[in-house]
């Protein structure tokens, strides 16, 4: 096997440098632990930007499902149907708001599907003589992905060099309902909102705001799209983040943790728009392939069997309390829901990230001053305590 130095060197030579990587190659993972090519062990509160987030690394139930499916059928194409994708859709819709599912591989693609769906549904529901409805409201500090449609809804700092964007994006402040009401006009098709903003620094909308968005969408016949790619399934202490607010969206997008590490993403459409896409209007060649869908089915079953929704709420609450109780000078605020936690520091978080990593704890720094903690939901109590000890000692030091 190549050494860490060799892999890092080859990375620079062969891979397009689109990521700000640390010079470490990960080679093995188990539960909430991961090892690099030098054999160094880490407790993982990072979980691959949330993508390894529910099941942890190489959960036996997930790997068994992948191995079993790999021996049967990898892909046949969406000219046909297959049982794993139907099972995964059933598991998602059972815990959500019913509806129907379109499968793809990444959060950005799921949001592209939702964007197209919002435009199509707005046209189908609107008058044939009125203006085409195409505008989408999204919120500052959101993140919806890197493809052109999703990028258009995402803050300007990510768009630099790629303009012009897809027309019709309107960005407003989260929790400013009056501004949303004022911005919606006869050309608006939908509103995209994250129930918990992940990349933007773990920011939560208020209940009143989310309910206000729901009412506005009902009044104006817009689609309310919840981008749950970061926060679901189960991470916030609810199956899906919108459930924190007592509302139902018209569309929900999922990705990251859904496949337990396998690339699975979904656009889930409720009854109002579930049949808007008809044959030929949208597609994804490998979307819902049996291999990745089988991994997703195993993840959803694991959440149910191990009661990971309530565990996320319980353990996440305990982690947030422990940090608040530690009264750490540089921590201005602890916020989040379930095991999606942000620590707002009074300084950039990069140094804490580096020191934690040196001491064997992976965390993430986002929005410059926010440390993001997102341990896998199956993390053993012992790993939580060990990780917290490192984190608190680094922040106090």
Ligand X SMILES: Cc1ncc(COP(=O)(O)O)c(C=O)c1O
What does the binding site for ligand X look like in residue numbers (CB under 6 A)? 49, 106-108, 111, 143-145, 194, 198-199, 227, 229-230, 255
Neighbours of 59 (CB within 10 A): 24
With respect to ligand X, which residue has the nearer C-beta, 141 or 221?
141
Q: Closest residue to ligand X, Cβ-based?
A: 107
Compute the least distance from the CB of residue 392 to ligand X, in Å: 27
Q: What are the backbone angles phi and psi of residue 268, rounded to the nearest 5°?
A: -105, 120
Compute the least distance from the CB of residue 314 to ligand X, in Å: 24
391 CB burial (10 A radius; 0-12, 13-18, 19+): buried
With respect to ligand X, which residue has the nearer C-beta, 29 or 145?
145
With respect to ligand X, which residue has the nearer C-beta, 19 or 80?
19
Compute the least distance from the CB of residue 160 to ligand X, in Å: 18
Instruction: Give strand pairing partners of 337.
Output: 340
CB distance 362 to 379 below 8 Å:
no
53 CB burial (10 A radius; 0-12, 13-18, 19+): buried
With respect to ligand X, which residue has the nearer C-beta, 47 or 394?
47
Compute the least distance from the CB of residue 2 to ligand X, in Å: 27
With respect to ligand X, which residue has the nearer C-beta, 235 or 315?
235
Compute the least distance from the CB of residue 325 to ligand X, in Å: 29
What tokens does 92 get? 């998602």
Compute the least distance from the CB of residue 255 to ligand X, in Å: 5
How far apart, in whole angstroms, are the C-alpha atoms of residue 75 and residue 288?
A: 9
Compute the least distance from the CB of residue 46 to ligand X, in Å: 13
CB distance 210 to 196 below 8 Å:
no
With respect to ligand X, which residue has the nearer C-beta, 31 or 241?
241
How far apart, in whole angstroms, are the C-alpha atoms of residue 24 and residue 110?
A: 30
How far apart, in whole angstroms, are the C-alpha atoms of residue 126 and residue 117?
A: 14
Query: What contacts 247, CB < 8 A, 6 or more positions away?
Result: 210, 211, 213, 214, 224
Which of 8, 57, 26, 31 lies closest to 260, judged by CA? 57
With respect to ligand X, which residue has the nearer C-beta, 108 or 341?
108
How far apart, in whole angstroms, are the C-alpha atoms of residue 391 and residue 57?
A: 21
Compute the least distance from the CB of residue 361 to ligand X, in Å: 21
With respect to ligand X, which residue has the nearer C-beta, 42 or 143?
143
């Amino acid at each position: 096997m190549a050494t860490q130095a060799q892999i890092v060197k080859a990375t620079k030579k062969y891979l397009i440098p689109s990521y700000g990587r640390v010079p470490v190659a990960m080679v093995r993972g188990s539960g909430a632990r991961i090892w690099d090519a030098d054999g160094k062990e880490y407790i993982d509160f990072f979980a691959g930007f949330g993508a390894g987030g529910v099941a942890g690394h190489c959960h036996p139930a997930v790997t068994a499902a992948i191995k079993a499916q790999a021996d049967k059928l990898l892909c046949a194409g969406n000219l046909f149907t297959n049982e794993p994708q139907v099972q995964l859709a059933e598991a998602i819709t059972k815990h959500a708001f019913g509806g129907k599912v379109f499968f793809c591989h990444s959060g950005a693609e799921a949001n592209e599907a939702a964007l197209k769906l919002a435009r199509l549904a707005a046209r189908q529901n609107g008058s044939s003589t009125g203006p085409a409805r195409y505008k989408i409201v999204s919120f500052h500090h959101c993140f919806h992905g890197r493809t052109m449609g999703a990028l258009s809804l995402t803050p300007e700092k990510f768009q630099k060099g790629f303009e012009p964007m897809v027309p019709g994006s309107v960005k407003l402040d989260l929790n400013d309902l009056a501004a949303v009401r004022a911005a919606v006009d006869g050309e608006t098709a939908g509103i995209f909102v994250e129930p918990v903003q992940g990349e933007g620094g773990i920011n939560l909308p208020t209940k009143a705001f989310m309910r206000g968005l729901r009412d506005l969408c009902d009044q104006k016949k817009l689609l309310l799209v919840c981008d749950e790619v970061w926060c679901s399934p189960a991470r916030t202490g609810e199956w899906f983040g919108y459930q924190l607010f007592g509302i139902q969206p018209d569309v929900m997008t999922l990705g990251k943790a859904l496949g337990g590490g396998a690339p699975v993403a979904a656009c889930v459409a409720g009854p109002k728009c579930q049949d808007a896409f008809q044959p030929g209007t949208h597609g994804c060649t490998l979307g819902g392939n049996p291999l990745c869908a089988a991994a997703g089915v195993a993840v959803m079953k694991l959440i149910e069997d191990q009661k990971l929704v309530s565990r996320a709420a319980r353990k996440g609450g305990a982690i947030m309390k422990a940090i608040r109780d530690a009264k750490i000078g540089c921590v201005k605020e602890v916020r989040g829901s379930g095991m999606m936690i942000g620590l707002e520091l009074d300084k950039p978080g990069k140094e804490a990230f580096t020191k934690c990593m040196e001491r064997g704890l992976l965390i993430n720094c986002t929005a410059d001053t926010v440390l993001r903690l997102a341990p896998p939901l199956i993390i053993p109590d012992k790993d939580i305590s060990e990780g917290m000890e490192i984190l608190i000692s680094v922040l106090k030091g």
